[in-house]
A and B are shown apart, each in its own frame.
Chain A
Amino acid sequence: QKEVEQDPGPLSVPEGAIVSLNCTYSNSAFQYFMWYRQYSRKGPELLMYTYSSGNKEDGRFTAQVDKSSKYISLFIRDSQPSDSATYLCAMTAGGSYIPTFGRGTSLIVHP
């Protein structure tokens, strides 16, 4: 079993839909959770950075962490075609540890 599991998709949704992207993990030591967006042939861009359990909201994006279930989510409200990209989750046990990445979920938002 991989440390971080993420469905590669693709996930295709109509413009305006609410998107839910998820990752599960097995290492209970993970405390810092990140979501990155990667456009084709570009480097990942940090979207959200959360610590421990709970929710964090930033504009149309909400990151949710459930440590008891070892499950994290990224919600995108009012999705736009420009949101079409690959979304990678990443997590680490602490500041000095290198993040472990999921394989990314490809999201397609069609007009």
Chain B
Amino acid sequence: GAVVSQHPSRVICKSGTSVKIECRSLDFQATTMFWYRQFPKQSLMLMATSNEGSKATYEQGVEKDKFLINHASLTLSTLTVTSAHPEDSSFYICSARAQSSGGFDYGYTFGSGTRLTVV
């Protein structure tokens, strides 16, 4: 199967500091990864599409200078929340579309999520 590993699962940080969240595709290469934000009892809100070797594409209303995305390799994308504030507290989830070398489509696979609490 296709596995997306996300770390850390939970982080608490002080207001004004930066937090980095990692998303790795463990057994497949992902040229594109997606970053979502989810509020309690709400659906997934797409924040940005991360493209390997190029700039991320941000959804309308998402501050690219606040949510820095780096996709330096085919298996790793990172989201850095800069100068975090309490309103940034949320559940952040990454995703990638996995296809095997044989062409089998596993669909969109999600990481386990990161719960960020800014105090």
Q: Which A residues fall within an 8 A CB radius of B?
A: 6, 8, 34, 36, 41-46, 49, 88, 90, 95, 98-99, 101-104, 106
Contact = CB atoms under 8 A, between A and B. Distances in A.
Interface stretch (B12-20, B37-45, B67-75, B80-88): B37-45
B91 A104 contact: no
Interface in B74-114: 91, 93, 95, 97, 105-113
B105 to A, nearest CB: 7
A102 B45 CA distance: 10
Contacts of A45: 110
Interface string B2-39: 00101000000000000000000000000000100000
A43 B107 contact: no
B49 interface: yes
Interface residues of B, number: 23
Nearest to B110: A43
23 contacts: A34-B108, A36-B110, A41-B91, A43-B4, A43-B6, A43-B111, A44-B93, A44-B110, A46-B106, A46-B107, A46-B109, A46-B110, A49-B105, A49-B107, A90-B108, A98-B34, A99-B108, A101-B43, A101-B44, A102-B43, A103-B42, A103-B43, A106-B41
- Chain B binding surface SS class: strand
B56 interface: no
B64 interface: no
Given A34-B107, A95-B105, A98-B34, A43 B43 contact: no
Nearest to A90: B108
Nearest to A4: B43
A40 to B, nearest CB: 10
